[in-house]
Amino acid sequence: MTRLSPVPFVDVRLTGDFWSERLNTVLDRTIPSQHAKLEEMTILASLRLPQPPPPLVIKRHANGFSVQVFWDSDVGKWIEAASYALAHRRDATIEAQIEAIIDDLAAAQAPDGYLNCWYLCREPENRWTNLRDNHELYNAGHLLEGAVAYFQTTGRRRLLDIMERYLEHIRGQFGTGPGQRRGYCGHPEIEMALIKLYRVTGDAKALALASYFVDERGASPQYFDEEARARGADPADFTQKTHEYSQSHMPVRQQTKVVGHAVRAMYLYAAMADLAALTDDPSLQSACEVLWDDLMLTKVYVTGGLGPSASNEGFTRDYDLPNATAYAETCAAVALVFWAQRMLHLDMDGRYGDMMETALFNGALVGLSRDGTGYFYANPLESDGTPHRWHWHDCPCCTMNVSRLVASVAGYMVSASDDTLAFHLYGGIETTQTLGGVATRVRETSRYPFDGDIAITIDPATPADFTLLLRIPGWCDGASLRVNGADVPVVAHNGYAALTRRWQAGDRVALSLPMVAERIHAHPLVTNNAGRVALRRGPLVYCVEEADHDAPVQMLRLPPDAPLSATQSPLFGGIVTLTSPARRYGNGSIPLYFVKDPDMTATPLTAIPYYLWANRGAGSMLVWVPET
Ligand code: FUB
Ligand code: ZN
């Protein structure tokens, strides 16, 4: 079997209710409202060069840094998200908005190809002098991802041409040759973008530049320190104090612990996994595997959120997974989806699919409100009701990260090679792939993630020999499989069941993945979860929210032996809630401390999927529910 590649989003049509609803919301509400915000915040105006530097909109921190340096990236991410959405439904207004931005970028680009609107406008003499902090290559990466996605959807090359000129410039600047800078970006991102460009155009120079940035990271002497000295700064003044922050404290192949800023880490590891697969690099693969295990064994929330601390937007010590103060940035969970997907293509192992699914349906999806215009930056697993969704943020990274993920989810569903089609996620898709040399239409229908009954129809143009791989999620016990009505034993190898046969038009596969509501316990060293359980059914992690209980949910107790039931509910247009007989501290006054438990009353507990919390007004929320 040759290595599988993800089937691109443009080749997969979403047909199921769950993702169609999210996608339509993103198309109809999120993309237009994000464009309006980019306009209102003057982010789009900042592209219209030349212009005298206007006053800063986002003030500098005490250390002199303004997040405004990465406004270009917000534009790139918006184009990318919009392009994914447009693949499902073309929209002349959105396309005209993208074209107008491309006009501005074309006019802004310097004669030598350089294109960074902050530097071109405000400090043209300082290009490439502060890679550690100022996101110059990160901005280029996001614009490139936008250009690639727009090209994939529309076939229009103008933005890609602009970015390829810029890449020529970047290639001249960076590398190990004479007169080149041996630098790389403080915020990994461009590496993934270059690999996307390579996948779409086959440009080997793009792959080589991505490899250079990854291989050079963490080399001695430390580039960011040298660069600081060169601009007359003291490296010791670096606010974050350690280059673990940007995973450049040592060469990537020597890294064994997941450290630093969570989004930076995930973007880097995603690029490493991509490169390991594309260049058949076992040393990079094994670095990825060691880092993966470290994250999975000690540092990831049950929701797929990650990075508990606000101070470095990232990781702290093992098992430090506080609930109420969890930072768990939306971008980090989105980026974990990216990494998991790339690990899957390095090694088709269902554990990567399991985590991709967990982070997608929980830690990432929670970042976008039901109406498509509200966001979370931090994603706590417990709330007293004070965090609210917001409509914009001074640092709007999460807004377009979640919209680009939702709009591109079709690209995470299946992978293919010449003789294999692998399903990683279910939820209703159609795609036509050449399998066993024959054009084959494949349709999958299901009510996933709320129901595990999955029907797949295979229609090759003529009978064809190939393998269908079906992910059997790690949460599932007792999966069953039928082909054309006949039972087939489920033998999952690395989390995938394989069906190899000569397929005929109209062949039907029925996969049943029983979804049982269950309690999850945490490692004892996650001390704040002692005596508590999280509730999960299928891929969804649940939470209890005040809207379904007449009191702060912290007053609830779930008896260890209370049965959990899954109930179809009309909430949010039709979801499955989990219910259980539970108990609650009474409304009467409760002393601050007590020896004898105050009276408790019986009460039904209702849990909703975590990704849906904070869509019914302010109120308390808990993922880890105390048992007793
Ligand atoms: O630095 C760019 C983005 O802004 C990061 O990925 C986020 O964590 C936020 O700091
Ligand atoms: Zn973010």
Ligand 1, atom 3: closest residue by C-alpha: 397
Cα 70 to ligand 1 centre (Å): 9
**Residue to probe by mutation, ligand 1, list 118, 311, 313, most atoms within 8 Å of CB:** 313
Confirm whether pTM is higher than 0.95.
yes
Burial environment of residue 7 by CB neighbours within 10 A (0 to 12, 13 to 18, 19 or more):
buried
Residues 363-399: tens digit of each pLDDT = 999 999 999 999 999 999 999 999 789 999 999 999 9
Would you place residue 1 in the very low, low, confident or very high pLDDT band (cuts 50, 70, 90)? low
Q: Provide the pLDDT for residue 74.
A: 98
Q: Where in the chain is the domain with CATH 2.60.40.1180?
A: 414-512
Please state the atom number of ligand 1 nearest to the C-alpha of residue 329: 8
Ligand 1, atom 4: closest residue by C-alpha: 397
Residues 73-89: tens digit of each pLDDT = 999 999 999 999 999 99
Closest CA to 306 of 272, 242, 263, 340: 263
Residues 458-515: tens digit of each pLDDT = 999 999 999 999 999 999 999 999 999 999 999 999 999 999 999 999 999 999 999 9
Ligand 1, atom 6: closest residue by C-alpha: 263
Residues 566-580: tens digit of each pLDDT = 999 999 999 999 999
Mean pLDDT for 106-125 is 98
Residues 420-461: tens digit of each pLDDT = 999 999 999 999 999 999 999 999 999 999 999 999 999 999
**Residue to probe by mutation, ligand 1, list 65, 185, 187, most atoms within 8 Å of CB:** 187
Cα 396 to ligand 1 centre (Å): 9
Residues 128-153: tens digit of each pLDDT = 999 999 999 999 999 999 999 999 99
CA atoms within 13 A on the CB side of 187: 26
Residues 255-278: tens digit of each pLDDT = 999 999 999 999 999 999 999 999
- Whether the predicted pLDDT of 114 surpasses 80: yes
- Whether the predicted pLDDT of 589 surpasses 90: no
Residues 174-206: tens digit of each pLDDT = 999 999 999 999 999 999 999 999 999 999 999
- Whether the predicted pLDDT of 587 surpasses 70: no
Measured CA to CA, the distance from residue 321 to residue 101 in angstroms comes to 41
Measured CA to CA, the distance from residue 178 to residue 131 in angstroms comes to 19
Residues whose beta carbon lies within 6 Å of some atom of ligand 1: 70, 187, 263, 313, 329, 331, 395, 397
Residues 233-263: tens digit of each pLDDT = 999 999 999 999 999 999 999 999 999 999 9
Give the chain's mean pLDDT. 97
| Ligand with smallest separation from the Cα of 268 | 1
Please state the atom number of ligand 1 nearest to the C-alpha of residue 313: 8
Residues 267-316: tens digit of each pLDDT = 999 999 999 999 999 999 999 999 999 999 999 999 999 999 999 999 99
Which sequence positions are flagged as catalytic?
313, 397
539 phi-psi bin (left φ>0, alpha ψ -120 to 50, beta other): alpha
| Helices H / strands E in the chain, number of each | 15, 23
Measured CA to CA, the distance from residue 343 to residue 337 in angstroms comes to 10
The CATH fold assigned to 414-512 is Immunoglobulin-like (2.60.40)
Among positive and negative, which fits the CA dihedral 283, 285, 286, 288? positive
| Ligand with smallest separation from the Cα of 399 | 2
Q: Provide the pLDDT for residue 597.
A: 84
Count CB-CB contacts under 10 A for residue 39: 12
